[in-house]
Amino acid sequence: MTDPDHPDHPDNAAGPAGPAGTVGSEPAGERRPSGLRNPAGSVRATGGVTLGLEAFVVLFALAPIAKTSGLTAPKLVALLVIVVLLIVAASTLGRGWGWWLGGVCQVLVIASGFLTPAMFILGIIFAVIWAAVLRFKRTIASAG
């Protein structure tokens, strides 16, 4: 292993990404403390995936709700409105109000537990996940 261009050479501690002190194409002086190339994009993607998953879970919860507690028209409309709001929130996280809408959606999902009790459980689970995403957002914002 005497070839200095070989990725396993001791002078290339970062491996194929580049010599020690660089990440990809970034010079050593421009490294971000978070280690992410696009911290804001990573946070938006995490929030968007979380809200999108929540929208699917609420949508797919309609079938068991119909079998167990009965799915009346008002319940169906309320839950579909929540699904649409979750999708809108996921797609607008690039704007400041998208994050607030995501928080409002968490409250709405928990409140939908008054329509069908199973939604209390789903709402609380996703509210805890949303709180973790917001903490991740704050951590990345303070580091980057």
In angstroms, rounded to a whole number, what is the distance separating the alpha carbons of residues 78 and 81?
5
The pLDDT value given to residue 49:
97
Locate the domains of the chain by residue range. Answer: 1-31, 39-143
In angstroms, rounded to a whole number, what is the distance separating the alpha carbons of residues 59 and 3?
57
Give the list of residues 6+ apart from residue 121 with CB closer than 8 angstroms, or none: 113
From residue 53, alpha-carbon distances to 26, 69, 73, 100, 144 in Å are: 33, 23, 24, 18, 27
The pLDDT value given to residue 71:
87
Report which of residues 70 and 28 the model is more confident about: 70
- How confident is the model over 90-103, as a mean pLDDT? 94
Q: Looking at the predicted structure, is the pLDDT value of residue 22 above 60?
A: no
The pLDDT value given to residue 106:
97
In angstroms, rounded to a whole number, what is the distance separating the alpha carbons of residues 119 and 43?
26
Share of the chain above pLDDT 70, in %: 74
- Residue 75 pLDDT class (50, 70, 90 cuts): very high
Q: Looking at the predicted structure, is the pLDDT value of residue 23 above 90?
A: no
